Amino acid sequence: MSESAEATPPVAVPGRAVLGIDIGGSGIKGAPVDLATGLFATERLRITTPKKSTPANVAEIVAEIVDHFAEQIGDGPIGVTIPAVVTHGQTRSAANIDKSWIDAPAEKIFEDVLQRDIYLMNDADAAGIAEVHYGAAKGHPGLVMVTTLGTGIGSALIYRGVLVPNTELGHLEIDGKDAETEAAASVKDRKGWSYEKYAKKLQRYYERLEALFWPDLIVVGGGVSKRADKFLPRLKLKSEIVPAKLLNTAGIVGAAWLAADRLVHPDPIR
Ligand code: BGC
Q: What is the pLDDT of residues 141-171, one digit of tens each?
A: 999 999 999 999 999 999 999 999 999 999 9
Contact 24 CB / ligand 1 (< 6 Å): no
Q: Could you tell me if the CB of 87 is within 6 A of ligand 1?
A: no
Question: Do residues 115 and 159 both lie within one domain?
Answer: no
- Per-residue pLDDT, 145: 98
Q: Is residue 27 part of a domain?
A: yes
Could you tell me the pTM of the whole model? Answer: 0.95
Nearest to 76 by CA among 131, 163, 15: 15
- Three-class DSSP category at 55: helix
Give the chain's domain count. 2
Closest atom of ligand 1 relative to the 95 alpha carbon? 7
Q: Does residue 11 lie within any of the structural domains?
A: no
- Residue 167: how many CA atoms within 13 Å on its side-chain side? 23
Residue 74 domain-assigned (yes or no): yes
**Is the minimum distance from the CB of 156 to ligand 1 under 6 angstroms?**
no
Residues 239 and 260 in one domain: no
Asked if 46 and 113 sit in the same domain, the reply is: yes
> Ligand 1 pocket, 95 CB below 6 A?
yes
DSSP characters for 59-92?
HHHHHHHHHHTHHHHTT--EEEEESS-EETTEE-
Q: Which amino acid is at 108?
A: K
Q: What is the pLDDT of residue 247?
A: 84
DSSP code, position 169: G
* CATH at 196: 3.30.420.40
Per DSSP bridges, beta strands 177-178 and 173-174 are antiparallel
Q: Whose CA is closest to atom 11 on ligand 1?
A: 152
- Let me know: does 231 contact 202? Beta carbons within 8 Å: yes
Question: Do 93 and 23 share a structural domain?
Answer: yes
Q: Is residue 13 part of a domain?
A: no
Residues of the chain with pLDDT under 70: 1-15
Residue 215 lies in a domain: yes
Give yes or no for a contact between 259 and 130, defined as CB atoms under 8 angstroms apart: no
With a 6 A CB cut-off, is 91 part of the ligand 1 pocket? no
Identify whether residues 95 and 153 lie together within a single domain: no
Cα–Cα distance for residue pair 170/227, rounded to 1 Å: 20
Please tell me the distance between residue 150's alpha carbon and the centre of ligand 1 in angstroms.
9
Residues 185 and 230 in one domain: yes
pLDDT of residue 3: 43
Write out the residue range of the structural domain in which residue 40 sits: 18-125+249-264
**Residue 105's CB: how many other CB atoms inside 10 A?**
14
Any atom of ligand 1 within 6 Å of the Cβ of 124: yes
Amino acid at 224: V
Q: What are phi and psi of 206, to 5 degrees?
A: -70, -30
- Give the pLDDT confidence score for residue 125 in this predicted structure: 98
Q: Do 238 and 259 belong together in one domain?
A: no
Surface-to-core class of residue 68, CB atoms within 10 Å of its CB (0-12 exposed, 13-18 middle, 19+ buried): middle
Q: Identify the pLDDT of residue 140.
A: 96
